[in-house]
Structure 1
């Protein structure tokens, strides 16, 4: 739950780029996208939109107590994309991330360094993969055996 909430707040890809495969008109809107038009999907903006996530700036892992089946947010939580263009290694990426975290946390207690920002700022000049301005300094304290 913590990992999923973390990548909701700071998805590695801030946006997805897709090309419209066929002409599409949004129902109930006067908006049509022609075939071949490039579409930018603002993942981080959607993940932090209060319309979809209550108190989006608050770290609340319990949002993920159940599988993400809320129809309002089903296609909003996109840290790995969705559909035929979704990341093929989503499951492996989650498993490797959890295994890496478990390995580190089994040996160290991790806490924010004194100068760690309380609310990190994503570097607006990041291209595809996002980065945090100044990084996030952490303290690693060995655990006693």
Structure 2
């Protein structure tokens, strides 16, 4: 979810005028703002060694939850967050109960996001996998 968030960006509209102090930039009320989720999740200031898969990063309760935004945050967060996580985990458990999964020879180590994917992110060229049925 950090390395390939479902949405590469979020769109929001400012409710009030706001000044970003560190940028010296002000926006008016009603301005559309693009939040680059994929870029935030790969920023080494927030995630050292951002290309490394290290789930233990999230064991720290001090982690800034407003930088990790796979489903958005606050009152405009995805309404399907819990349902989506539950379905994903149930589906993954059902597949892994019957199959061993490994990368196919054509898989790349660092997948690239497709630029023409639209609203949700997709892997350019797909992600080939090998499924081997487990012995019962």
TM-score, normalization by structure 1: 0.88
SS in 1 for 2:92: helix
SS in 2 for 1:44: helix
Check if 1:14 corresponds to 2:5: no
1:61 is displaced (CA, Å) by: 1.6
SS in 1 for 2:75: helix
TM-score, normalization by structure 2: 0.94
* 1:114-125 equivalent positions in 2, closer than 5 A: 114-125=105-116
Check if 1:36 corresponds to 2:27: no
* Matched residue, 2:46: 52
* Matched residue, 1:3: none
* Matched residue, 2:83: 92
Unpaired stretches in structure 2, ≥5 consecutive residues:
none
CA RMSD of superposed structures (Å)? 1.3
Aligned equivalents of 1:50, 1:108: Cα separation in 2: 35
CA deviation map 1:77-121 (0-9, x unaligned): 000001111001111111111111000000000000011111111
1:65 is displaced (CA, Å) by: 3.1
Report the number of matched residues.
Answer: 136
SS in 2 for 1:139: strand
* 1:56-135 equivalent positions in 2, closer than 5 A: 56-65=50-59, 68-70=61-63, 73-135=64-126
Aligned equivalents of 1:31, 1:134: Cα separation in 2: 38
1:136 is displaced (CA, Å) by: 0.2
Unpaired stretches in structure 1, ≥5 consecutive residues:
1-6
Aligned equivalents of 1:11, 1:85: Cα separation in 2: 17
Aligned equivalents of 2:73, 2:127: Cα separation in 1: 29
